[in-house]
Chains A and B, each alone.
Chain A
């Protein structure tokens, strides 16, 4: 009797899961549902930024708050574009180069900081300086990088073609949608894998009390370095995607303190301790700038940043756990 009754009424957990599957299916089919080009563009951009903010938060949530991830994004972005423009090297290889270079920089700076116990304010300021230095190097190499004006990748699409896999250039937004979606999902998977990795407990201990962790034998510097390299590499790849999709990079849009702060804000606004938090943050920021653009128009590009800055202040004071974090009480 009881079994029959429970079979008739589906468990609430199962119903929720079904809803999620439907939403996911709809989302996957988005380009085919008559979504306009501009909304699709917004979604792609949202996914790329979500991935980048997630990459930042993977180490940010562990007390290693970097104000310099713009450095990695910038290295990734400019590596692919420069290698393609100057040497015709495929951005796929350029991506490997960019990520590798970012890992090297992260290794050097990370080792210097962690080995010598540079944390908190000091760490934030050192990473901030790093992102600025990368920005300055890009500008200083102006003969090759175009300086402050930025550069675009050399067009690689043959007449009439909509895709060039070798050049990582696709004019069809649908393709970019699935690429961005795949990368975003990969970021979430990496987050989960990082959580399941044995070092996760050690990192938690380190973030709470580094001295205590060291005293019980945790190799602090090495452990921190691991997640730092992951975060840097992921962010660099985000830079690669951004460059190839937007088809334009400049020192201020992919490196420097402004971008670094944006990453931090985005992750925190959504809630950096929650896996989907940075995604929520990216959506929020995008919704914000689009709303302002609709309300105020395109001329006053200072107003959205004014609101942005004011919101950041209010968020930190009143909602330090971010939107999702506050909702989930985490």
Chain B
């Protein structure tokens, strides 16, 4: 009996690891936007939802191959990110931060409602069954493993982009001193747009990975949106490395907590842990100085 308990706990831990990769991808997009533009996209999870619906519609509705639907979704949500910044966030950039939160809150409602109107409240399944596989007594879904691998690859690619390319350096610089960027030939508005496009594209990619594992419905954003915020706050809002680590920590709480108790308790435990962390390191465990 002891060894059976251990193996399933191990399974939960490993599944938590796989989940962590996906959550890390989610938090990367949100952290990037906040770190550069100083705005939280409350509607980030809803952008992911739109990506999921787009894939479902293209594949199940229009018969388009997944190999085409996935890139299409990434591009679509990337464009949505740019549009979000250009039309909705830019006008309130100079106002109080609360306004930026509220305006993206409005987008959250709008997108949820739009999805309800267009697709209805039923759960939509992609109709793609990826096989699972067993390691001993442990069972894993290959969709989850694939999501983990792709998420890490995307994170690595983004990291390289930020380190090596000129635009990447500009993105990293602009949050540190915006007003002198033009002296080096950088158009700050354009950098914001590029960052928004990347944030959107990462959301679109997350949608691709999620739609392989979960059915999509208009309220699905509530399942991982607030969690993503918590992860980012705990890692220090805007801190890419912090968010990465925090994602895996939270994923363990959810996976192991959900295994030991019920799924929802995993979230509760994660939140309690988060509150406890706040007493220890209020600005997030890896917060950047000055935020």
Contact = CB atoms under 8 A, between A and B. Distances in A.
Interface residues of B, number: 48
Interface string A300-313: 11111110111111
A252 to B, nearest CB: 8
B98 A313 contact: no
Given A129-B229, A302-B117, A124 B98 contact: yes
Nearest to B43: A309
A316 interface: yes
A118 B105 contact: no
A129 B271 contact: yes
Which of B105, B116, B275, B279 has the most CB atoms of chain A within a 10 A radius of its CB? B105
B4 interface: no
Contacts of B226: 128-129, 132, 257
Interface in B204-263: 218, 222, 225-226, 229-230, 232-233, 237, 262-263
Interface stretch (A28-36, A87-95, A135-143): A135-143
B268 to A, nearest CB: 6
Interface hub of A120, A302, A308 (most chain B Cβ within 10 A): A302
Contacts of B271: 129-130, 133
Given A117-B282, A309-B111, A125 B40 contact: yes
Contacts of A316: 92, 95, 99, 102-103, 106
Nearest to A300: B117
Query: What 8 A-B pairs have minimum CB-CB distances, sorted nearest first?
Result: A309-B110, A302-B116, A312-B106, A116-B282, A305-B113, A309-B109, A140-B264, A302-B117
A109 interface: yes
B101 A116 contact: no
Contacts of B278: 112-113, 116, 118, 126
Interface stretch (A160-168, A230-238, A260-268): A260-268
A308 B125 CA distance: 28
B116 A313 contact: no
B110 A121 contact: no
Given A117-B282, A133-B267, A316-B92, A308 B237 contact: no
B116 A320 contact: no
A109 B275 CA distance: 8
11 contacts: A125-B40, A128-B226, A130-B271, A136-B264, A140-B265, A302-B113, A303-B113, A304-B113, A305-B109, A313-B107, A316-B99
A113 B117 CA distance: 38
Contact of A265 (B102, B116, B265, B268): B102
Contacts of B111: 309
Contacts of A126: 233, 278
Interface in B106-149: 106-117
A305 B121 CA distance: 13
Interface in A156-199: none
A67 interface: yes
B283 interface: yes
B8 interface: no
Nearest to B115: A302
B152 interface: no
A121 B97 contact: yes
Nearest to B103: A316
Contact of B237 (A108, A121, A303, A317): A121
A313 B111 CA distance: 12
A320 B95 contact: yes
Contacts of B57: none
A249 B262 CA distance: 22
B154 interface: no
B263 to A, nearest CB: 8
A218 B39 CA distance: 30
Contacts of B274: 129
A281 to B, nearest CB: 13
A108 to B, nearest CB: 8
B267 A309 contact: no
A313 B264 contact: no
B34 interface: yes
Contacts of B103: 312-313, 316-317
A87 B109 CA distance: 38
B63 interface: no
A120 B97 contact: yes
A65 interface: yes
Contacts of A67: 101, 105
A300 B102 CA distance: 25
A256 interface: yes
Interface in A266-316: 268, 300-306, 308-313, 315-316
A313 B83 CA distance: 14
A122 interface: yes
Nearest to A122: B233
Nearest to A147: B264
B88 interface: yes
B275 A112 contact: yes
A317 B99 CA distance: 8
A121 B101 contact: yes
A139 B106 CA distance: 26
